[in-house]
Amino acid sequence: MLKELSPKAAKLQRELLAFMDTHVYPAEKAVEEYMRTAESRWTIPPIIEELKAKAKKQGLWNLFLDHPEYGAGLSNYDYAHLCEIMGRSLIAPEIFNCNAPDTGNMEVFVKYGTVQQKKQWLEPLLEGKIRSCFSMTEPDVASSDATNIQSSIVRDGDEYIINAKKWWTTGAMDPRCKIAIVMGKTDPNAEKHKQQSMILVPFDTPGVEIIRPLTVFGYDDAPQGHAEVHYKGVRVPSENMLLGEGRGFEIAQGRLGSGRIHHCMRAVGAAERALELLCQRAESREAFGSALADKDVIREIVAESRIEIEQARLLTLHAAHKIDQGGTKAARKEIAMIKIAAPRVSINVIDRAMQVFGGAGLSEDFPLAAHYANARTLRLVDGPDQVHLRDIGNLEFREQGKKSAKVKK
């Protein structure tokens, strides 16, 4: 049984829905047109900055942060409902300053940053004045196992020297990107999960090189984009180390739990919009003597989509509630489950909508193809399905073992 939203979240939900209808959906085509005609793909559409100012003025800003001083002070359960609404448009999260990887990076600064790090980097991120990126994945190792990461972070007096070859660094192509959180090894001989550290690297530091932008199914996701970034002999002050040497995995776990709720609820939102578009298209098109909506096969895929969306939504909200009650460790299995379920559902529903749209569904005239590409990435983002399936299986056997032990007693 779902619990009710808090009065504050319910009010924000109403305001967010109205803002999306009035401003965000109408702006999608304007953003596409701007990016099509701009001299550079890596420039910011003015309408985005205009809508950010409106959202901030209306108080629809930094909604993801549960910290009352920095954000809206909402629970994960409350924010999940708002995140679903933002997931209906690919341009929406940034407009409300709730876009990845900035959300995760801001949470890192709030939880683990020093007073100086917060002042220098968190404050402008909260204001939406700068962007950030997170450099973890490497092209030369299987980064689904983060212990494989080979990037080097070596202490040299009052500085650290960083040598790393990273890719899929989201946000790195954005001209507003000013700071990177880089994960690498400070002690290859330490315990397995204490070898890695996270360190702050201002993006204009000598030795930081953007090698190339990366595309997802041909989409460059400009102006934020994804990039291969190399750090060659990069020197930063020792105070740029986050939390301390060997605490990279600790930071990663603190960063990922709520972030997976965000990803999954946005995926549910994308699926919900796809289903709406599917129904509208089916009611407006005729084939073989009747409206598509009147055909049994269409009714079946609509029903299947509705069932799957509700399942994914309820499972994700359950995970969010469990995090609120006991933290990410207590919700480990549920977080892994939604990370598998929500992207799969989103892909399924969007795929069905594309099928009903026919050739139009594959084009950029409608948002389906771009949402499909985005949803497919989620089966890899924050760990591939296979890693989460392994964890769920391990946890299930552990729980079943405990049950068996109790029965034997």
Question: Is there a domain that residue 74 lies in?
Answer: yes
> What is the span of the domain harbouring residue 39?
7-113
Final residue before a domain boundary, out of 193, 218, 242: 242
Domain count, the chain: 3
Average pLDDT over the chain reads 96
Domain match, 298 and 261 both: yes
What residue type is 157 in one-letter code? G
Give Cα 67 to chain centroid, integer Å.
19
Residue of 67 and 351 predicted with greater confidence: 351
User: pLDDT tens, 2-52?
Assistant: 789 999 999 999 999 999 999 999 999 999 999 999 999 999 999 999 999
pLDDT band at 210, cuts 50/70/90? very high
pLDDT band at 1, cuts 50/70/90? low
Domain match, 388 and 277 both: yes
Domain match, 161 and 97 both: no
Q: CA 226, 232, 234: angle at the middle one, nearest 5?
A: 100
Final residue before a domain boundary, out of 225, 242, 259: 242
User: pLDDT tens, 144-200?
Assistant: 899 999 999 999 999 999 999 999 999 999 999 999 999 999 999 999 999 999 999
Q: What percent of the chain has pLDDT over 90?
A: 92
The single residue listed with the structure tokens 């490497």 is 138
We report the CATH number of the domain holding residue 166 as 2.40.110.10
Question: Is there a domain that residue 362 lies in?
Answer: yes
Q: What is the pTM of this model?
A: 0.95
Classify 14 as helix, strand or coil: helix
Domain match, 266 and 339 both: yes
Kindly report the backbone phi and psi dihedral angles of residue 41, in degrees, each rounded to the nearest multiple of 5, phi listed first. -70, -20
Domain match, 229 and 286 both: no
How far is Cα 215 from Cα 94, in angstroms, rounded to an integer? 19
pLDDT on residue 34: 97
